[in-house]
Structure 1
Amino acid sequence: MRLGAHLRQDENPITTAEELGVDIFQMFVTDPQKWNKPQPHPHAAQIRESPIDVVVHSSYQINVASLNNRLRMPSRKAVEQQAQAAADLGAIGLVVHGGHLREGEDPAEGFANWRKLFERQQDKGGFAVPIFIENTAGGNHAMARTLESIERLWDAVGDFEQAGFCLDTCHAWAGGEDLIGLVERIRDITGRIDLVHLNNSRDEFDSGRDRHANLESGHIAPDVLAELMVQADAPTILETPTEGIPDDLAYLRSL
């Protein structure tokens, strides 16, 4: 079982990963709040050659489900570019949020746009790394908040080999999904869990708010999180507040 953390600001994440003693880490390849094209990482060779695995999280504004051409088209391009940047680092995959629509728009069109993402890229030979679609926390028009929406999304993309799934525990909790037995329910839909984002929540169940907490300080019982990690049996990334990550790792290792 590979256990690690998201390293947000580190110029050379390998150094921090080694200090934490993790097996895998997550990083951005560009400013997550902007549309900037990824640039070659100054420590790319060291990241590729390290025995520590890496996964890349895409920038936050990407929304491939959108019905707005001015958002969907740059989103498709950004996924392609960031997947290539992830491959250049030897990453196991690129995490992309499920996205959302605006009020009054037909969800079927949003799910169809997810399918078109893979269809269009398949014509180019596929993405450079697998795409791990992540469940999201809030929004009545989200593409991957509820099990029902995830099932509709998987009906659209599940036959593509490069479509993977990332399960975020805080997002599921905030989205109103019981974490007990969730791994089995997700696998019944997707057949797979490729990555876990193991996060506690600063807010109550079904709040719709995506605010992460360290494992022993949020509203989710930490033993429930630990059990979910074991059941998922997938690489696990902590996206908890940075100052508490060493304690989070120590808690999980103590089990």
Structure 2
Amino acid sequence: MRIGAHVDSADPLAEATARGAEAVQFFLTDPQGYKSPKPREDAERLRASEVDVYIHAPYIINVATLNNRIRIPSRKLLMAHAKAAAELGAKGLIVHGGHVGAGADLDAGFANWKKAFEYAENDGGLPLPVLIENTAGGDNACARRFDALARLWEAVGPFGAGFCLDTCHAYAGGEDLVGIVDRVKSITGRIDLVHANDSKGGFDSGQDRHDNLGSGKIDPELVVAAIRASGAPAIVETPGGVEGQAADIALLRERAGV
């Protein structure tokens, strides 16, 4: 069970050392832009490092939408980031579950997710696991409520999709953290990564606002329990820079017994 943090992309390995992290997650490009990643000068160091690497895809990616001007570039960008992440020896590429527009049928969003994986297969296949992350807000989200997640998994599960459980997103999205791992695994069969975050927003608030462990609305023991039950690596995406994240990592190590 390895524990790390989301860090600045300039020198991820130095950031890992500063936090005592065994894993890092970072963006390859502006998370709000459509630019494709460029080769990194530290690619060989990242591949050779004992620090596990995870790449987070841009937030702007939404392969579920019915809007062709967003969906088609999103599919291409997802594939570009998957290839670039694989070049760094990354363990997985995390991407948000996406949403459809107001009044649109969610079934169309699930079908579009399936098409995204089919697109990837036609483009030579995904070179690393794509980990779909549950999200906090939106009534038209594909991965906020777990009833929707079950329908999404019917579409993408056969393609080997992985899952990233975000504790803040689940809590703010209206999903009880007690027994959450069993509920997720009954749907997806797997949890590949945990985003171990506290929540500034209340239960079912729909607010995607992370906080340091023990500083927000979530009992940190519920986060620890989720990590223990999942057996998956954990990444903190919390504020406070080196000091704040190092404290969160230390808390998880101490209480999870790793």
Q: Indicate whether 1:87 and 2:86 are aligned.
A: yes
Q: State the distance in 2 between where 1:109 and 1:100 align.
A: 10
User: Any conservation in 1 of the 2:25–2:53 contact (CA below 8 Å)?
Assistant: yes
Q: Indicate whether 1:116 and 2:115 are aligned.
A: yes
Residue 6 of structure 2: aligned partner? 6
1:252 partner letter: L
Q: Report deviation, 1:11.
A: 1.2
Q: Indicate whether 1:197 and 2:195 are aligned.
A: yes
Residue 167 of structure 1: aligned partner? 165
Q: State the distance in 2 between where 1:10 and 1:140 align.
A: 32
User: Any conservation in 1 of the 2:23–2:53 contact (CA below 8 Å)?
Assistant: yes
Gaps of 5+ in 2: none
Percent sequence identity is 53
Residue 223 of structure 1: aligned partner? 221
Name which structure has the greater RCO, CA cutoff 8 Å, separation 6+.
2
Residue 141 of structure 1: aligned partner? 140
Q: Indicate whether 1:18 and 2:40 are aligned.
A: no
Q: Indicate whether 1:65 and 2:67 are aligned.
A: no
Residue 37 of structure 1: aligned partner? 36
Deviation by residue 1:130-187 (Cα, 9 ceiling, x = unmatched): 11000000000001000101000001111112x1000000000011000000000000
Partner secondary structure for residue 141 of structure 2: coil
Residue 246 of structure 1: aligned partner? 246
Q: State the distance in 2 between where 1:123 and 1:221 align.
A: 44
Cα root mean square deviation, aligned? 0.9
Q: State the distance in 2 between where 1:142 and 1:115 align.
A: 15
Partner secondary structure for residue 159 of structure 1: helix
Partner secondary structure for residue 5 of structure 1: strand
Partner secondary structure for residue 177 of structure 1: coil
Q: Report deviation, 1:78.
A: 0.4
Partner secondary structure for residue 95 of structure 2: strand
Aligned positions, number: 253
Q: Report deviation, 1:121.
A: 1.3
Deviates more, 1:133-142 or 1:14-23: 14-23
Q: Report deviation, 1:10.
A: 4.2
Deviates more, 1:78-87 or 1:41-50: 41-50
Deviation by residue 1:214-246 (Cα, 9 ceiling, x = unmatched): 001010001111111111110110001133111
Task: Give structure 1 regions of 4+ aligned residues with deviation exceeding 2 angstroms.
Answer: none
TM-score by length of 1: 0.97
TM-score by length of 2: 0.96
1:109 partner letter: A
Q: State the distance in 2 between where 1:226 and 1:98 align.
A: 24
Deviation by residue 1:58-87 (Cα, 9 ceiling, x = unmatched): 001000001011000000000000001100
Q: State the distance in 1 between where 2:12 and 2:140 align.
A: 35
Deviates more, 1:35-44 or 1:194-203: 35-44
1:88 partner letter: E
Residue 129 of structure 2: aligned partner? 130
